[in-house]
Each structure stands twice: as C-alpha cells, then as structure tokens.
Amino acid sequence: MDEDVLSRARAWVEQDPDDETRAELQQLIDRGDAEELASRFAGRLQFGTAGLRAELGAGPQRMNRVVVTQAAAGLARFLIDTGRDRSVVIGYDGRVNSDVFARDSAEVMRGLGLEVTLLPSALPTPVLAFAVRHLGVGAGVMVTASHNPPRDNGYKVYLGGEDDGSQIVPPVDGEIAAAIDAVAAGDVRDLTRATDYTVAGPELARAYVDATAATVPAPALPVDAQPKVVYTAMHGVGWETARAVFAAAGFAEPAVVPEQIEPDGAFPTVSFPNPEEPGAMDLSIARGVAVGADLVIANDPDADRLALAIPDGAGSFRRLSGNEVGWLLGWRAAARAQAAGSSDGTGVLAASIVSSPALARVAERYGLGYRDTLTGFKWVSRVPDLVFGYEEALGYLVDPGVVRDKDGISAALAMLDLAVSFAAEGRTVADQLDAFAAEFGAFASGQVSTRVDDLSRIGEIMTSLRSSAPSSLGGRAVTGVTDYSDGVEGFPPSDILRYDLEGGARVIVRPSGTEPKVKVYIDTVAASPAEAQTLVDALAADVRPRVS
C-alpha cells in the first residue's frame, strides 16, 4: 500500500460529510484495496470547460460532497478575486445527489459572502441558463451529468456580465480550476457555511416559460387539428416545463411515455439515458406507433438536448439525426431572419466543426453569415450576431435572446411550430427533408465511435493517424488534411484531425470531451440521398479499423 495514498485517503474520510461515501472509502482502507484507492487518489477530477463530470463515489477522482464543496468554494473565490459580480444562481436536475450537491454549493457560497439563489426544485438546464441572464447574476451552476450513464453526476458553470450567460471557456476554466485546487489543499470542514440563501419562487420558471413560448407565432392550426405528438423526458426533468411551454404557446399537449415521464435517477428503462444511444427511444417509438403519432419528441434527462423520430412509412418510426434536425431548424431560422430583414450578413448561423456543412449552404443562400466553431455550446453561443446555432449531438440554440446555450425545450417548440405549419399545408416533416435536399443538396452524415477502457489508447490512436495520414478513404482521394493541434486560424489548438475528400466529403476525428471515446464524424453530399448515404457507409467501413 502506497503510504501517501493511504494518508490522503484517511484525511479524506475525516473531512467527508457524507455517511455513504465515508463508509465506502473506509471499507477500501480496511481491506487494503491498493488498486482501487490508487484509482481514486491518483490526482483529482480536472475542472475544465465542461466543468466536472464523473461517477459518484468517494475520493478526488469521483463526484461527491467533498469535491463539490471544493468546487463551489473555488468558484466563489474566483468571482471574489477577479472582481466579478458576487452573485450566483444554482440549479439541479433529478440525478442521484443533485439536490444535495446544489444545497452544499449554496451553503458554501453564501458562507463566503455571495448572494445566492437556489432554484426551488429539480428543473431543466435551460431554465438555469435562462436564470443567469434573467437575474443578472455573476455566475450560474447547474448540477447535472446531462445524458451520461446513471451513476454519473456533474457540475456545469455559466458566467454572467460580459459572458452573457454562456458556459465558461479558456482561460477562465483554468483560473477557476486553480482556485479550486487552492481550496482542496485545505480541509472542507474549515469552510464557513450559511443557510440564509434565497430559494427562487415559481415566477422564475414561469418567466422562462413565457419567454420561450413567445419565440414562436400562434399555431397555424387549432389544437384539435394539430399533428399527434408523443413526448418522453427519459426519466429526466423536462416534462413539466415543456408541458407548460407547449400550452403557453398554444400547442396540443403531447401523449407521454408514462414509464419515463417522471424524474428518476436510477433510469430504470434505459441503460444509457442518451437519445442518441441504440434502444434509448424504443419506448417512445412504441408509444408513437400505439397512438398513431406524427412526431416523437425526446429530451435528454436535463432537457438541453432534443431528439426526434418520424413515421417511416412501414409502420414504425425512424430517428432523425442531429444534423437533419439542425438543417430543418436552421432553414427555419434563416427564413425568419430574412423576413425580419437580416439578409445583409449581419445575422449569423453557426455550427460546430463536426456538424454537417449543409448549414453553411443555407446561410449563403439566405445572405447570412456563417461560422464554424469548436465542439460545445460554450463556443457556439458566443458567436457574434448569432440567430441560430447547433451541433450534431442533438444540441440546438433557436433563440439566443432567451438562452445562451443549447435548449431542448425551445428547440422542441420550434419543431412543433414547423410540424403544425407543414400540416396546415398538407405536408410532413419527411416532405420538408426532401425539400431540403432539392433546395440545398443531398447531404448525409454518419459517425463511428471507439470506446476505450484505457484512456492512453485515445492518444495512441490520434498519434497513429498523425504519423500515417491516409491518401484515400472509402475510395475517395484525400485532398487535404487539417491538424487543429497545430493551430488553425480562428481556433485554439485542439486535438482534431480533418480529412477533406474529392467530391466534397469530409471525415473528422477527435477524442470525446465527455466520454472515453474516439469519435469520427463523416459528412457527404451527392446527387441523391441514397448516393450520399452509400458514400457514408463506405467511409465508415474504411475508418472503423483505423480507430479501433
């Protein structure tokens, strides 16, 4: 047993306020589990632009009350030391211990002298992002692990003021991390706590509902003539807020997936509560078939992402890709911007670099600006003059004036607006996808992911690709290779490789920012959707062994 690790583990037990994690760690010490103790104490969770996210458990490499207390105190000290507004709003979702972590944060930050507002119940991440701007506070904290596995939790940070309610980006993340490390050098029992923080009233969530409902016009059809819709919250916190938004905007209440509609941190019907994962939407699609729905809507557990499925013509449904939804919402946003007079390049559409290039073609057609960003809405939301932004991982920002982050509820509302408008014209969402291909070109996209057990394998894969760049992929010549680690104009150095292919196709490879994966993004454009998809399949078959 490493004596340093053992000493730190014992010190952790002494300061841990949680009976469960304290007992868990003491058991590891008592049975001399050197390997597990080393994994818990070989460093600490890195606080970065995604905040914190990890499995629940004892020790500095897990999510627990000690780590959260240190993070809260570090963030508070950052706000104080940098002269920012000393106020914060804190939200939380329905995951295990989210409410506990939120209250710990409120008490510690209030104890350090900040003005603290705690949301009154488990609410969607977009409500917290909205609250940062609505309340005019210096920072926001959302306790959530979004769509991660059930045993995970996390800590996401937003900044007010000049940051306008966006998530943190470098170098601020490093400054907060340094402040957290300084706190972690001491004992959390020495931190002053206070319970006289403010708990927000129902008017805050209502303000979000009203602001979001106002982003769409009155429905083109009365409630009883609107398309049939199924909604699932995937055991998350989206339903009550989404339901209120849909009603306030004049849309019919969807049929729900009863097994998944209430918050449940155990996620009993899905092994991985991410609408992108195979099987995650099976219950909602079954419900769609049962009620004869025209559209299935799924939010992820904290409701900042949106997934859709539409009838496939064969008695079931097909899930739309994140890019397909982005195309439809981007086309809607461009048409609205043009109608509002933003056709001189002052309005901008934006997408992460791993999202489909189709949105750039929409922007060009409508006389709008276009920007690629690094992955993550912390970058998308900061694009000047933004009117719409998305990333293929089911994230959409449909009204930057309300929320400066991806918002699965406002995006769902925008899709309801489209679906009802199409129905009033005798058309469907599928018809609009066909119209998109006819108007802008037949685009297709795909993805290959390799999950690893050893994180060092990710570096090995990226190094291998850099040392032996392919001359062709999927039978198409590679016409250009861009290594973002070298620094590309407009982007900070990033571990991303891009291969441009003859005919306009491209392949992008990068490590995941939230999971132990290498992810490959494939985008093609061709004369027909079938031809574009055939090329995607060929590229995927060629790429898969290269990243395994």
Question: Among all residues, which ones are annotated catalytic?
Answer: 146
CB 200 within 8 A of CB 266: no
Which of helix, strand or coil describes residue 141?
Answer: strand
Q: Which helix (H) or strand (E) holds 128?
A: helix 125-135
Q: How far apart are CA 293 and CA 317, in angstroms?
A: 9
What angle, rounded to 10 degrees, do the helices at 408-424 and 125-135 form? 110
Both structure tokens of 231: 């909604």
DSSP assignments along 55-109, one per residue: EB-SSTTSBSHHHHHHHHHHHHHHHHHTT---EEEEEE-SSTTHHHHHHHHHHHH
Is the backbone peptide bond immediately before 171 cis, with ω within 30 degrees of 0? yes
CB 125, CB 141: distance < 8 Å? no
The CA dihedral of 428, 215, 262, 286, to the nearest 10 degrees, is 0
Instruction: Round to whole Å and give the CA distance between 153 and 63.
Output: 6
3-state SS class at 116: strand
Please give the torsion angle defined by the CA atoms of residues 323, 500, 539 and 542, in that order, rounded to the nearest 10 degrees: -140
Q: What are phi and psi of 90, to 5 degrees?
A: -125, 130
Q: Which two tokens stand for residue 409?
A: 């509820």
From CA 108, how far away is CA 292, in angstroms rounded? Answer: 51
* 514: DSSP letter: S
Instruction: Give the DSSP per-residue string, 204-258.
Output: HHHHHHHHHHTTSPPPSS-GGGSPPEEEE-TTSS-HHHHHHHHHHHTPPPPEE-G
Contact 60, 111 (CB under 8 A): no
Task: Characterize the bridge pairing of strands 295-299 and 229-232.
Answer: parallel
**Termini Cα distance of the chain:** 35
Q: Which residues of 105-122 are buried (b: 16+ CB within 10 A; e: fewer)?
A: bbbbbbbbebbbbbbebb
